[in-house]
Amino acid sequence: MSAMRARAWSLHVLLVACAAGCSDPAPARNCAIPQMPSCPDPAPSYATDVSPIFQTYCVRCHGPGGVEFNKPLTTWAEANSRYGAVLQQVFFFCAMPPATEPQLTDPAQRAALLGWLMCMAPNN
């Protein structure tokens, strides 16, 4: 099985499991779980749409000197390697950003990030 196909299969399994009722034992707050989204056409751009979201909401903790520096999200390669965790923590567990940090509440930003993840996190 190719790496891309394995990744797509893993993402599908994650989405099905979460849609079926998986949840964080103690979600930080109420947030809507998206319903089986698909990759938009055109895919959101990492450089213009997604990187600014990570810079605004994630890098303070997931960057050099942050409390989660060992789970960095400062570059495309780092975000791409953690895309499954981002999907789970932001959209299904509602655990990120932490409740004490600025929240990703803008629907356009949430749609851009989710769309980018559904497109397998392209470096575009």
Residues 31-61 have pLDDT tens digits of 665 566 889 999 999 999 999 999 999 999 9
Are 49 and 122 within 8 A, CB to CB?
Answer: no
Average pLDDT over residues 9-38: 49
pLDDT digits (tens, 9 = 90+) for 71-122: 999 999 999 999 899 999 998 888 999 999 999 999 999 999 999 999 999 9
Residue 32's pLDDT is what? 67
- Alpha-carbon distance of 94 to 24, in angstroms, equals 8
- Token output for 1: 């099985």
* Mean pLDDT for the stretch of residues 1-28: 44
CA distance 66 to 58: 10
Q: What is the phi-psi region of residue 39: left when phi exceeds 0, alpha when psi lies from -120 to 50, beta otherwise?
A: beta
Over residues 73-84, the pLDDT tens digits come to: 999 999 999 989
Residue 11 confidence (pLDDT)? 47
Give the chain's end-to-end CA distance (angstroms, integer): 24
Alpha-helical regions (H) of 29-82 = 51-57, 76-81
Residue 55 CA to residue 73 CA, distance in Å, equals 8
Asked if residue 2 has pLDDT above 90, the reply is no
pLDDT (average), residues 10-32: 44
Torsion of CA 24, 22, 88, 64, to 10 degrees: 30
